[in-house]
Amino acid sequence: MIRITEVAGKGQPNLDAEHIRMERGEMQKSRLRRTTDRGTDVGLDLPAGTTLHDGDLVRGEGRTVMIRQMPETVGVISPAGGPVPADMWMLAAHAIGNMHRPISVGRDEIIFPVQDASERETFARMLDRVGTGRFEIIVREAVFEPHEAADVAGHG
């Protein structure tokens, strides 16, 4: 087993390195054992409090491995036509937060994890109460990284 002890920066997606695929919840664990895509047995032994991110390079015993986050099911809220006033965006984000979901905020979208596609209807009804027809929501698979200030993972 190769013991990985440090985060060595961010890698480029085309970097020819071994990869470890991890779920988002595992990215906050400092101790974890995995097998790389090339069959190398790797043990993460990182400093407590380390949070990994998609594309991070980790190193130990002369080896460098890239962390690849696995996609998950996310809901994406965006305008349903015209511009959405700032207060409506704030209400939509607040409503999602009340459901104890972390969010990622883009220029014209709010992204959050969902359990499965059936939750789309629940969130669509909630958004209609908040912004009557101003939002649309789609469900897709994507690598989700919550905004650091909006990660409520410790609450749910």
pLDDT at 132 over 70: yes
- Mean pLDDT score, 115-143: 86
| Helix, strand, coil percentages for the chain (3-state, nearest 5) | 25, 35, 40
pLDDT at 40 over 50: yes
The domain spanning residue 103 has which CATH number? 3.30.70.790
Q: Quote the domain boundaries for residue 114.
A: 72-155
pLDDT at 151 over 80: no
pLDDT at 13 over 90: no
The pLDDT value recorded for residue 81 is: 85
Whether 110 and 145 share a structural domain: yes
- Mean pLDDT score, 28-53: 95
Dihedral sign from CA coordinates of 119, 122, 126, 128:
positive
- Mean pLDDT score, 113-134: 84
Whether 81 and 148 share a structural domain: yes
